[in-house]
Amino acid sequence: PDQWQDWRDEVRRLAREKDVVILAHNYQAPEIQDVADHVGDSLALSRLAAASEASTILFAGVHFMAETAKILAPEKTVLVPDANAGCSLADTIDADQLRAWKAEHPGAVVVSYVNTSAEVKGETDICCTSSNAVEVVESIPADREILFLPDQFLGAHVQRVTGRQNMRIWMGECHVHAGISPTDLRASVEAAPDAELLVHPECGCATSALWMVSDGQLPTERVHILSTGGMLDEARRTTAKRVLVATEIGMLHQLRQANPTTSFEPVNSRASCPYMKMSTPEKLLRALREGRDEVTVDPQVAARARAAVEAMVAIGT
Ligand code: 13P
Ligand code: SF4
């Protein structure tokens, strides 16, 4: 038992009584991860939302994640601890901006990262997450131009891996991941030259990690560019003593639980997402007690977005 035990008991009791499944993203606070039915990355949680038999989904994450769950499971009630939990990356493009971009490139296939509003998804051909962005782009015929949005660092990573030339990238960024800089990365590597490196593709330092490999400063087998779910798989596999982690720091809780014999250290210990941390234990309990905040998506917007989101859920492992 710890200071959260009574709170956990009450959360679990209410979830059972009210037929609620609690999904938590890997960036949530440790106590929220520990009480959830499932913890995972954006793709895994979308799949769980689509497959769940509970009548209510309580999504401990940010607003676009709950909207995605609602698009996939329109008959269910979808709750979030705080509906004001937005996303700086999703805010870099709205549906009007996307319509204008599409008008400049008629016939292009629109690939949107799941970190977008439901309205943007409604203007999208296929969504992706960081786990399956490469597979999604590879599923599009080579002669079709692609508009990839909104993350420039993920876009650059996908372009590097696929070698795709006819791909235009929206210049958005997540302020948390963009803030994990090449300088932070170099300082961490200098302090721990033998450590393995896990880098989320949204990071501002993802390209420099690969330059350090091509310059011979880091062996290629020690550098992994991965989604949060991919990081967890690598944490279970690794035999390294030290692993440097470039992503939001909530991730460290899952990594340390998955492998207690390895030391996981953040590349930037200030990389905390203020939106993810708007889910507090008090608000999670309030969501269960009072049924708020409920997330809804206009049914017409949801109908336009559904095929793109369902295709995302079907692609990749
Ligand atoms: P993944 O969990 O899909 O890697 O996404 C990271 C993220 O920034 C979600 O907000
Ligand atoms: Fe958005 Fe970045 Fe926070 Fe993820 S970490 S929710 S991309 S602001």
- Whether the predicted pLDDT of 317 surpasses 90: no
The answer, yes or no, to whether any atom of ligand 2 lies below 6 A from the CB of 88, is yes
The tokens describing 63, both together, are 């607003």
Query: The domain spanning residue 10 has which CATH number?
Result: 3.40.50.10800
Last residue of a domain, one of 138, 173, 208: 173
Last residue of a domain, one of 266, 286, 306: 266
Instruction: ipTM value, please give it.
Output: 0.97
Look at residue 316 and tell me if it is in a domain.
no
- Which whole number is the average pLDDT over 111-126? 98
pLDDT for 299 beyond 90:
yes
The number of residues in the chain equals 317
Q: Which of 65, 20, 55, 60 is nearest to 39 (CA)?
A: 60
| 8 Å CB contact between 231 and 201 | no
Q: Which of 130, 135, 199 gets mutated to test ligand 1 (max ligand atoms within 8 A of its CB)?
A: 130
pLDDT, tens digit (0-9, with 9 covering 90-100), for 241-259: 999 999 999 999 999 999 9
Q: Which of 127, 142, 173 is the last residue of a domain?
A: 173
User: What span, in angstroms and rounded, lies between the C-alpha atoms of 107 and 145?
Assistant: 7
Asked, for residue 307, whether it belongs to a domain, the answer is no
127 is in an annotated binding site: no
Nearest CA to ligand 2 atom 1: 87
| Average pLDDT of span 23-42 | 97
- In single-letter form, the type of residue at position 270 comes to R
State which ligand 2 atom lies nearest to the alpha carbon of 87: 1
Residues 225 and 198 in one domain: yes
What are the two backbone dihedrals, phi and then psi, of residue 242, each rounded to the nearest 5 degrees? -125, 135
Co-location of 39 and 56 in the same domain: yes
Residue percentage of the chain with pLDDT more than 70: 100
Residue 39: the pLDDT is 97
pLDDT at 22: 98
Q: To which H or E segment does residue 57 belong?
A: strand 56-60
Range of the domain at 218: 180-266
Whole-number Å distance, alpha carbon 233 to ligand 2 midpoint, is 21
- Contact between residue 223 and residue 240 where contact means Cβ atoms under 8 Å apart: no
Q: Are residues 104 and 75 in the same domain?
A: no
**What pLDDT score was predicted for residue 1?**
76
The Cα 308–Cα 109 span in angstroms is 11
Whether 305 is in a domain gets the answer: no
CB-side neighbour CA atoms (13 Å) of 231: 32
- Domain membership of residue 313 (yes or no) is no
Pocket of ligand 1 (CB under 6 A): 26, 41-43, 115, 129-131, 174, 202, 227-228
Number of domains in the chain: 3
Residues 163 and 115 in one domain: yes
Residue 311 in any domain: the answer is no
Q: Are residues 184 and 262 in the same domain?
A: yes
Which one of the ligands is nearest to 128 CA? Answer: 1
Could you tell me which residues come within 8 angstroms of residue 146 by beta carbon, excluding any fewer than 6 positions away?
Answer: 108, 109, 110, 111, 137, 140, 164, 166, 167, 168
Give the torsion sign (CA, 173, 174, 179, 183): negative
81 part of a folded domain: yes
Average pLDDT over residues 150-163: 96
* Ligand number with the minimum distance to the CA of 129: 1
The answer as to whether 312 is a domain residue is no
Atom 10 (ligand 1): residue with closest C-alpha? Answer: 115
pLDDT band at 105 (very low <50, low <70, confident <90, very high): very high
- Confirm whether 309 is domain-assigned: no
pLDDT of residue 167: 98
Answer yes or no: do 226 and 156 share one domain: no
Q: Using CA atoms of 97, 207, 143, 132 in order, give the dihedral in degrees to the nearest 10.
A: -80
Instruction: Evaluate the CA torsion angle 279, 281, 283, 289 in order and state its sign.
Output: positive
> Are 184 and 124 in a shared domain?
no
What is residue 229's predicted lDDT score, i.e. its pLDDT?
A: 94
